[in-house]
A and B are shown apart, each in its own frame.
Chain A
Amino acid sequence: MAWQRETYKKIKQIPAEEYVLPGTALCAGCGGLEALRLAAKVLGEKVVYVNAAGCFTLLAVYPFTPFKGSWLYTTMGSAPAGAQGIRDALDVLIAKHRLSKEEDLKVVVLAGDGSSYDMALSATSAAIYRNLDFYYFCYDNEAYGNTGVQLSSATPYGAQTSTTPCSLHHPSGAVREKKDLFAIWRAHKPPYMATVSPRHPLDLVEKFARAARFAGPKLFLALSACPTGWGFDPAQTTEVARLAVETGFWPLKEAIHGEVTHTYVPKRRPVEEYLRLQARFRHLFEPTRQEEVIRHIQDRVTAYWEQASAALP
Chain B
Amino acid sequence: MATHEMMTGNLAAAWGARLADVDYVPVFPITPQTEIVEALAGWCDNGDLAARFVTLDSEHSMMTAAGAAAATGARVFTATSSQGLLYAFEVLYTIAGWRVPLVLVNVSRALASPITLEPDHNDVLAARDSGFLQIHAETCQEVLDSILMAYRIAEDPRVCLPAMVNLDGFYLSFTREPVMRPNPEEVRAFLPPYRPPHLGLKASAPQALGVAVLGGATYSYFRHQMHLASVNALTVHQEVAADFARLFGRRYDLVEGYRLEGAEDVLVMSNAFASKGKAAVDAARARGRRVGLLRLRVIRPWPADAIAAALQGRRAVAVLDQNLAPGLGGILFQEVAASLCHAPARPALCSYIGGLGGKNISEAEFETIFEQTAEAGVRGQGIGPVLLYTEEERREMEQLWTTANKN
Contact = CB atoms under 8 A, between A and B. Distances in A.
Interface size band for B? 35 or more
Nearest to B209: A72
Interface in B100-158: none
A109 to B, nearest CB: 11
A16 B163 CA distance: 46
Contact of A81 (B62, B209, B213): B62
Contact of A103 (B62, B64, B66, B204): B204
Interface stretch (A7-15, A122-130, A160-168): A122-130
A84 B208 contact: no
Contacts of A105: 201-203
Contacts of B203: 45-46, 102-105
Interface in A67-103: 67-75, 77-86, 88-93, 96, 98-99, 102-103
A297 B118 CA distance: 55
Nearest to B74: A89
A82 B212 contact: no
A103 B69 CA distance: 15
B66 to A, nearest CB: 6
Contacts of A79: 64
B212 A58 contact: yes
Contacts of A68: 206
Given A81-B60, A103-B203, A73 B209 contact: yes
Given A85-B65, A103-B202, A105-B203, A92 B208 contact: no
Nearest to A124: B57
B90 interface: yes
A84 B206 contact: no
A83 B201 CA distance: 12
Given A82-B65, A84-B54, A85-B67, A67 B208 contact: yes
Contacts of B72: 85-86, 89-90, 93
Contacts of A92: 23-24, 51-52, 74
A74 B88 CA distance: 12
A65 interface: yes
Contacts of A84: 26, 54, 56, 61, 65, 68
A75 B91 contact: yes
B32 interface: no
Contact of B208 (A71, A75, A83, A123): A71
A71 B72 CA distance: 11
Interface string B193-215: 00100001111101111111110
A48 interface: yes
Contacts of B69: 85-86, 88-89
Given A75-B60, A92-B74, A105-B202, A85 B211 contact: no
A85 B66 contact: yes
A69 to B, nearest CB: 5
Interface of B: 23-24, 26, 50-52, 54, 56-58, 60-62, 64-74, 90-91, 94, 98, 195, 200-204, 206-214, 218
